[in-house]
Amino acid sequence: MVCPCPWVVSEDFLKEHRIDYVAHDDIPYINADGTDGYGHLKAMGKFKVTKRTEGVSTSDLISRILKDRDDYSIRNLKRGLKGNEIGLNYFETLVLKA
């Protein structure tokens, strides 16, 4: 995964980051000029379609993960993992271990 990622992914961006495919649902995302935002990737064979699951929202999943992040981190620190192994910086590790 590359963050931040541009809204329009160019061929140069794919090469620079050694990206083979871009995955997204198949709903057309129309640019201001009326073209499919992923049309050039589809034409290059670099687009993979993902399927939406009714009742599952990426935004809801991310919110739940972030809400429970401290509990998850504390539990894993107690199990002996190091902060950097679970994505914590030095100061977060100090605070959560206290």
Which residues does 81 contact at the CB level (< 8 Å), separation at least 6?
none
Rounded to whole angstroms, the Cα distance separating 87 from 53 reads: 28
Q: Write out the DSSP string of 40-94.
A: HHHHHT-EEEE---TT--HHHHHHHHHHTHHHHHHHHHHTT--GGGGT--HHHHH
**The pLDDT of residue 6 is above 90:** no
Average pLDDT over residues 37-54: 91
Q: What pLDDT, on the 0 to 100 scale, is given for residue 80? A: 93
Say yes or no to pLDDT of 94 above 80: yes
State the pTM of this model: 0.53
Mean pLDDT of 78-88: 91
